[in-house]
Chains A and B, each alone.
Chain A
């Protein structure tokens, strides 16, 4: 609206160049022939996607809902059982499972947000919901109890199963791109603006005609839907799911949390940066030669904890805010 196309191009040119470079990296590197690099990239993209999903409810709407695994697990299990029992393609199963997760989020969210639960208490109750579900799945024979469910290793592209990893990579990349587009769209929409207002100050938001309850609920449901799709992806990629993994804290909650808070909450690019940084950091720590076995995960957790603490206390805007003075990626605030 303000200024012509030329100035728009100038304003965004650096951003576009960065995107092209990033795009090339993500299009060329998978073909390096290294299974290690490919797997690392798939897992990284998976966390980018998860972070983006959590970003919707925490980053934009400011609600510390921590039961991510609830939706990840429900959708993952649902599509897997549906495939094994009825031969329903997991692509379709993911959508159905995502809708089931959305429904669960709707009911849970209605209960929690109606009760005006927020902050720490919201976090605790959502974690408890996830824990209870994990306990149920651990003792439910139909879903394989604590031993989990194995999927057969076959090359059935229409059933979301590949013996080659490259298709998984492109599906993960596609999911991230869809998520970026969705986040972008939401950020620019009335819903996105309302969510930000709720995050900043609920009283002022209400006084501005914003239905805080409804806004939180919609963002929670969207977040749960997207989070769920990742559960199916994981199931198809690993061909094995168990309650410990699908409802696990560190996979589904801690890593997205690091990505969003360290990267920059409530931004489109922050969680991408944060998750990629942590995926690389985690991988680097695994390669440090003087650490062995359990020491690795202990050291990783310690470092994650320290970084998260520093980011939470000192750098609220995360990497995005740090970069905003320097790089164009940070300029979209």
Chain B
């Protein structure tokens, strides 16, 4: 197992954002992380990537415990993430941003630039190369986030809603990119609200609700699971 999250709990003041959550991610697989708003998905991402230190539990990556590591060290180790609200470098060009992302495993800037150039081509944003972060559309920002995250050559990629907000053609294009990445051996853990994307992409899905893991398994089965339906739609409406 590439990543293992063991009984992680996190409180924010009196609110328990995560309750004894277990999660595991395998190489070359896409794992979906779904659940209603406020379920703790983004907090769990924060815990895995070091932005958020859990009050209990541990995170183990490639057999090594990384629970209290700093984010940059976790990135260096091989876990990369995107942010739900894309955080571009406003005053930097797309090319520079991706170059910076590629520095971590590059000997020098030139090597990072070569990597960045290739990634921009692969992700089909080479034409935005010299645009500043602040001038990008939401869709372009998401693509840039993905490029920046991939630039650090991760073994595990955490995607926080990279598909929400795309039009159907863009969804298909992004899905193909993600599928290809998984095929090349990358593990992906993705938070997504668009069920269609989870159904078509994820090999496995985990459902969070109010900080707890309530179900786990094949996405198609999960959507028929009454517990999951209840979490999403509410008990009475589900049977209405």
Contact = CB atoms under 8 A, between A and B. Distances in A.
B64 interface: no
Interface string B69-86: 011110110001101000
A54 B99 CA distance: 25
Name B's interface SS: helix
Contacts, number: 86
B227 to A, nearest CB: 33
B101 interface: yes
B58 interface: no
A285 to B, nearest CB: 32
A206 to B, nearest CB: 4
B109 A189 contact: yes
B238 interface: no
A209 B87 contact: no
Contact of B51 (A194, A200, A203): A203
Contacts of B100: 193-194, 196-197, 205, 208, 210
B115 to A, nearest CB: 13
Contacts of A211: 70, 72-73
Interface residues of A, number: 21
From A189, A190, A204, A316, residue with most partner B Cβ within 10 Å? A204
Interface residues of B, number: 36
B87 A203 contact: yes
A193 B99 contact: yes
A60 B192 CA distance: 36
Contacts of A206: 50-51, 70-72, 75
A204 B109 contact: no
Name A's interface SS: helix
B72 A196 contact: no
Contacts of B137: none
Interface in B96-111: 96, 99-101, 103-106, 108-110
A183 B80 CA distance: 31
Given A188-B109, A197-B89, A208 B148 contact: yes
Contact of B90 (A200, A203, A205): A200
Contacts of B96: 193, 196
Interface in A193-246: 193-194, 196-197, 200-201, 203-212
Contact of B75 (A190, A209, A316): A209
B71 A207 contact: yes
A200 B71 contact: no
B49 interface: yes
Contacts of A212: 72
From B104, B110, B151, residue with most partner A Cβ within 10 Å? B104
Contacts of A200: 89-92, 133
B148 A204 contact: yes
Contacts of A196: 89, 92, 96, 100
Interface of A: 1, 188-190, 193-194, 196-197, 200-201, 203-212, 316
Q: Give the 5 A-B CB pairs with smallest separation, nearest first.
A: A209-B104, A200-B89, A209-B75, A206-B71, A204-B87
Interface of B: 49-51, 70-73, 75-76, 80-81, 83, 87-92, 96, 99-101, 103-106, 108-110, 112-113, 133, 148-149, 151-152
